[in-house]
Structure 1
Amino acid sequence: MDLRLSGQVAVVTGASKGIGLAVVSTLLAEGARVVAASRGSSPGLEELAGDDLVHVAVDLMEPSAPGLVVARAVEEFGGLDILVNNAGGPPPGVTLPRSSFFEAGDDDWRTVFELNLFSVVRAVRAAVPLMLRRGGGAIVNVSSGNARQPSQMNVDYGAAKAGVNNLTKALSEEFGPQGIRVNTVSPGPVRTPWWTKQGGAADVIASMTGSDRDSVMDRLAPEMMRLTTGRLVDPQEVADAVALLASPRSASTTGADFVVDGGFLKAV
């Protein structure tokens, strides 16, 4: 299917690995021009290097950073059509999951909200005026199943992502009549570095359960989270949903939440 993204200009945050890297690769394959934002580059991002890809090294927790990334899209490609707010998860130096509400203090909550909610707010604030000048655009905010499924694990993260969902609905109502569609994609547990890196979620859960990291990712985590598919989600599966929502083929989809979670959410 042609997603009709050829020549479109996109900003993707958290772009060097995992879901973000898959989104960048997918948008490039569809003919889009992409500004990829992350703290540093990666071998995967470097493999995609070309005239249609610009990497911006920024810390999106810095208040000025999202605006700088959006401005770079104008500088390099003349405008902005698509914004994918993917940056999120554990802030630098933070290990998730936490197993209790009491494991996170005020500073922990602030840093989680800075990365997972406030960076989204700031990126949207910078992007919307540019999209309005072009007659519209698409914003896709990567949320989480934890936004809708409260848990004692990662309470601060779930609350921040719930804020992203609420923000998305509000933005879709205000700017939909002006041609800007705003949607969320809510992954379940995705096999990304959050899980796979040394000291990541797989190792944390392995230490809690007396298991090993491979068993956690292959069997224990899907069982604990009651995933219908019996496996963690692949980043490309999330990227495909993001690309579809960014596409003009989704012209009547706004204010929606696309769930790509392996059956994690059970409620109607």
Structure 2
Amino acid sequence: MDLQLKGRVAVVTGGSKGIGLAVVRTLVEEGAFVVAVSRGGSEGLGALEGPNLVHVAGDLMEEGFAEEVVARAVGAFGGLDVLVNNAGGPAGGVVLPRGAFLDGGDREWRTIFEFNLFAVLRLTRVALPYLMERGGSVVNVSSALARQPATNNYEYAAAKAALSHVAKGLAEEFGPRGVRVNTVSPGVVRTNWWTDEGGVADMFAGAMGVDRDTLLDETLPGMLRLSTGRFVEPQEIADAVVLLASPRSGSTNGSDFVVDGGLLKEM
């Protein structure tokens, strides 16, 4: 299926690995011009190097960086059609997963909200005038945790819930101005955060007395009652993101697509 993205200009945050890298790769394969934003490069991003890709390195929490990102997109490719707000997770020395409510304080909450909500809103605010010029779209990557409160990761889940909420309002305000705003909410995704040496999988595996592969392939899917029996792959999230970004989803606005392997059980 032709997603009608050839020649369109996209900004993707968190674009050097995991979900973001899969989104960048898919957009490039569809013929889009892509500005990948991340703190640093990666082997995977380097493999995509070419005339359709620009990498902008920096911290989305730094003042003025949002303006720099949009300026690079407009300067390199002449405009902006798609904004994918994918960057999220831990930042500023805050480690995820987080524990019980009393284990954290204001610093953790402020840092997580700054990265997962306010940095997203800042970049969106800068991008919207350009998106309105060309009838563009915004896709925010939220989380299944935005819908499912738990007794841990309070700050992250609350920030993602706020992001999903704001996206719905933006869709209502800017839909009549030609800009669609949608959300993708992943469940448990097999990213570097889990699989890197010394990462979360190793931490959980040690605590549970199993090896990393058993934990990822059997233990956690069973504990989380994933009806597919496995973690979500980054490409599966990217496919949903790129479809929502595409003109082929021209009547989809204000929606939240859950891609979670059956994690959420409620209606």
TM-score normalized with structure 2 length: 0.97
Distance 1:234 1:221 in 2: 15
Q: CA deviation at 1:90?
A: 1.6
Q: Deviations over 1:88-146 (max 9, x none)?
A: 01225433212312222211111111111111101110110111222x11100000000
Distance 1:265 1:193 in 2: 23
Q: CA deviation at 1:39?
A: 0.3
Aligned residue number for residue 83 of structure 1: 83
Q: Which amino acid aligns with 1:21?
A: L
Aligned residue number for residue 227 of structure 1: 226
Q: Which amino acid aligns with 1:167?
A: V
Distance 1:117 1:25 in 2: 25
- 1:95–1:201 Cα contact (<8 Å) kept: no
- 2:13–2:86 Cα contact (<8 Å) kept: yes
Q: CA deviation at 1:216?
A: 1.8
The alpha-carbon distance between structure 1 residues 102 and 211, as it changes in their structure 2 partners (threshold 3 A), is farther
Does the residue aligned with 1:120 lie in a helix, a strand or coil? helix
Aligned residue number for residue 165 of structure 1: 164
- 2:16–2:45 Cα contact (<8 Å) kept: yes
Distance 1:63 1:203 in 2: 35
Distance 1:153 1:209 in 2: 18
The alpha-carbon distance between structure 1 residues 32 and 69, as it changes in their structure 2 partners (threshold 3 A), is same
Q: CA deviation at 1:226?
A: 1.4
- Aligned CA RMSD, in angstroms, stands at 1.1
Q: CA deviation at 1:250?
A: 0.2
Aligned residue number for residue 263 of structure 1: 262
Does the residue aligned with 1:60 lie in a helix, a strand or coil? coil
1:1-268 to 2 correspondences below 5 Å: 1-134=1-134, 136-268=135-267
Distance 2:146 2:40 in 1: 28
Does the residue aligned with 2:182 lie in a helix, a strand or coil? strand
- 2:94–2:111 Cα contact (<8 Å) kept: no
* Count of residue pairs brought into register by the alignment: 267
Q: Which amino acid aligns with 2:64?
A: S
Q: CA deviation at 1:200?
A: 2.1
Q: CA deviation at 1:62?
A: 1.4
Distance 2:28 2:200 in 1: 30
Q: Deviations over 1:12-44 (max 9, x none)?
A: 000000000000000000010000000000000
Distance 2:154 2:22 in 1: 27
Q: CA deviation at 1:208?
A: 3.2
- 2:89–2:116 Cα contact (<8 Å) kept: yes
TM-score normalized with structure 1 length: 0.97
Distance 1:93 1:213 in 2: 25
Q: Which amino acid aligns with 1:154?
A: N
Q: Deviations over 1:224-255 (max 9, x none)?
A: 22111111100000000001000000000000
Q: Which amino acid aligns with 1:96?
A: L
Distance 1:58 1:158 in 2: 25
Does the residue aligned with 1:10 lie in a helix, a strand or coil? strand
Q: Which amino acid aligns with 1:66?
A: A
Distance 1:204 1:243 in 2: 33
